Amino acid sequence: MLPRTERLILRQMTNDDLPDLASMLQDPVAMVAYEGPFTDPEVQHWLNRQLGNYDQYGYGLWAVTLQESGQMIGQCGITWQTIDEVQRPEIGYHVKRAYWHHGYATEAASACRDYAFATLGITEIFAQVRDINIASMNVAIRTGMTIRSRFVKTYRGVDMPHFAFSVRA
């Protein structure tokens, strides 16, 4: 069973989620840490990568939905990322701007952390956060993570300093 909380249900995304995913990934304010909003093909590629992760690993970034309405308000989950030149399990999270400041990202990320430890047997989980993204740093800290290192990730042709946060089981 995938993670759920008092307020949230996490589920696999489908192609039907493309409009909700696009509303997050094409928001220029929400995507400032990615150097701007995604194009339609980039959003489709992002979704396709998650669908592939589900097939390959059984997990990836999941749709975060409100229990009360089923509305998709974000995505959160576990993917494999290169952090400090090593493949590591990472919790990623994005929440639609209309739902910021309600604790949803921390709630979803904490559920993913617990799922990684209890269900997947992962002993250390990471979050990579661009050094300008204070809100995401705060989510990592609230899930019990501390900074382990600083590294540079090149994304969309831009060298972006990141912090590697992690927490151990």
What does the alpha-carbon distance between residue 2 and residue 121 come to, in Å, rounded to a whole number? 14
Q: Where are the alpha helices (DSSP H) in 13-153?
A: 18-25, 40-57, 104-118, 134-142
pLDDT of 48 strictly over 90: yes
Mean pLDDT, residues 115-143 taken together: 97
Residue 109: the pLDDT is: 98
Which pLDDT value is given to residue 163? 98
Q: What is the mean pLDDT of the chain?
A: 97
Closest CA to 91 of 70, 117, 65: 117
In whole angstroms, what is the distance from residue 115 CA to residue 97 CA? 25
Mean predicted confidence (pLDDT) in 79-105: 97
Tell whether the model's pLDDT for residue 69 goes beyond 90: yes
Which residue type sits at 95? Answer: V
pLDDT category at 138 given cuts 50, 70, 90 is: very high
Residue 106 has pLDDT above 90, yes or no: yes
Give the pairing of strands 146-155 and 158-168.
antiparallel
Domain ranges for the chain:
8-168
* Percent over 70 (pLDDT), the chain: 100
Q: What is the pLDDT of residue 49?
A: 97
Query: Which of 96-100, 109-113, 153-157 is least confident?
Result: 153-157
Topology adopted by domain 8-168: Aminopeptidase (3.40.630)
> 150: buried, middle or exposed (CB in 10 Å: 19+, 13-18, 0-12)?
exposed
Q: Decide if 27 contacts 38 (C-beta within 8 A).
A: no
Q: What is the pLDDT of residue 156?
A: 87
Query: What pLDDT is attached to residue 155?
Result: 87
